[in-house]
């Protein structure tokens, strides 16, 4: 049981015990630098240890800092250098919580791996799928969309059938020290004091960029760090207040130029997605598409790259979504997850091209 030191994983461990499993709590030490939020701080490791004591289960700490730097932190920095907007928590799930941890579980002879995510694992016609959790406001199926069949078959989400309120009620009834602990919302290696600017500024050089009007090309100002600008951004782009709302509608890294304009300029009819992974097999046709961790899914039509009129295709790892109605453009680098038409089961997901 992956114990993060939060209330969700604490109750998940208790649920496993109630169901009769033999449970060992595992806390992953991921970030060796300064941390005051997320699941990497010393306080969180201590909370996980004390919850394990309360539940009377063994507790182990695995040091995966090298893997975390390689698969999460370094790509996060490089993505900003390249003008992308990454999802570090998804990459942590992909490479650490459901890859590196599973490898260690195999070595130690565990039968299953469990986490406190608000999601479910279901089997349909012999195929495993990630499904949305019971609580729509806390559903985390988006951030665990990448799990392959082998992992899904032995992954448990013990609180996926519970609302957040029920989780806290359970924690309170059990007297768990994490019962009232606030949810973590931020990237664990970004401190509250310094923020993204300080973190990235110490690792990559920032380039100033011109801010222009997207319609007439007129100069409007300048930003200090092109690497800190993302598509759809409204604040922090060096424009005076009081005028019409303007959004970042285009970023040209070659010329170090940021184009701003009306929100309508962000609307588009389609979205290209690369590096697609499928829950079972490639699909095409009507789907529900979610483009951010807490955003609502939108209907669209999925076509694999190169599909012709006969349904032939050349690349299952690149797809194009045609929206049922125009949607805001998605920042390149963001994860895009496909659900079935009922918006319940994860079919696959990839990375937005732009």
**Using only C-alpha atoms, what is the Rg of the chain?**
22
74: number of Cβ within 10 Å = 12
Question: Among residues 228, 173, 169, which one has the least CA distance to residue 196?
Answer: 228
- Of 40, 89, 188, 291, the catalytic one is 188
40: annotated active-site residue: no
89: annotated active-site residue: no
Tokens found for residue 21: 């499993």
Question: Among residues 4, 254, 278, which one has the least CA distance to residue 115?
Answer: 4
Helix residue spans in the chain (DSSP H): 7-18, 42-55, 65-68, 74-81, 88-92, 101-108, 149-152, 164-174, 195-201
Which residues 6+ apart lie within 8 Å of 170 measured at CB? 11, 14, 15, 162
Q: Are 346 and 270 in contact (CB under 8 A)?
A: no
SS3 278: strand
The 3-state secondary structure of 216-256, one letter per residue: CCCEEEEECCHHHCCCCCCCCCCCCCCCCCCEEEEEECCCC
- Of 40, 92, 268, 291, the catalytic one is 92
**Greatest pairwise CA separation for the chain in angstroms:** 67
Structural element, H or E, at residue 212 = strand 209-213
Q: Are 261 and 229 in contact (CB under 8 A)?
A: no
SS3 296: coil
Are β-strands 113-114 and 155-156 bridged in parallel, bridged antiparallel, or unpaired? Answer: parallel
Which residues 6+ apart lie within 8 Å of 30 measured at CB? 39, 40, 64, 65, 68, 72, 92, 96, 188
Q: Which residues are tagged catalytic? A: 92, 188
């Amino acid at each position: 049981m992956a114990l993060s030191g939060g209330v969700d994983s604490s109750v998940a461990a208790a649920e496993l015990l109630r169901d009769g499993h033999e449970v060992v709590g595992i806390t992953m030490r991921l970030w060796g630098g300064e941390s005051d939020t997320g699941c990497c701080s010393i306080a969180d490791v201590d909370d996980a240890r004390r919850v394990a004591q309360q539940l009377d289960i063994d507790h182990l700490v695995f040091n995966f800092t090298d893997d975390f730097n390689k698969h999460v932190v370094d790509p996060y920095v490089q993505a900003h250098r390249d003008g992308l907007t990454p999802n570090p928590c998804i990459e942590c799930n992909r490479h650490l919580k459901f890859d590196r941890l599973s490898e260690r579980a195999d070595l130690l002879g565990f039968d299953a791996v469990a986490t406190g995510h608000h999601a479910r694992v279901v089997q349909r016609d012999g195929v495993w799928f990630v499904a949305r959790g019971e609580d729509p406001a806390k559903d985390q199926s988006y951030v665990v969309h990448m799990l392959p069949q082998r992992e899904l078959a032995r992954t448990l989400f013990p609180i996926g059938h519970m609302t957040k309120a029920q989780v806290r009620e359970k924690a309170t009834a059990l007297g768990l020290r994490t019962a009232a602990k606030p949810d973590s919302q931020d990237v664990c290696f970004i401190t509250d004091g310094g923020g993204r600017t300080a973190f990235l500024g110490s690792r990559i050089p920032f380039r100033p960029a011109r801010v222009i009007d997207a319609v007439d090309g007129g100069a409007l100002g300048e930003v200090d760090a092109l690497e800190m600008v993302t598509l759809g951004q409204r604040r922090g782009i060096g424009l005076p207040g009081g005028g019409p709302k303007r959004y970042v509608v285009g970023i040209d890294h070659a010329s170090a130029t940021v184009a701003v304009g009306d929100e309508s300029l962000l609307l588009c009819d389609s979205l290209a997605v690369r590096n697609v992974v499928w829950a079972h097999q490639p699909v095409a046709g009507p789907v529900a598409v979610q483009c951010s961790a807490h955003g609502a899914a939108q209907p669209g039509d999925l076509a694999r790259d190169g599909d012709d009129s006969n349904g032939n295709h050349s690349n299952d790892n690149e797809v194009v979504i045609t929206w049922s109605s125009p949607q805001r453009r998605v920042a390149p680098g963001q994860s895009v997850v496909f659900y079935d038409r009922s918006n319940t089961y994860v079919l696959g997901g990839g990375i937005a091209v732009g």
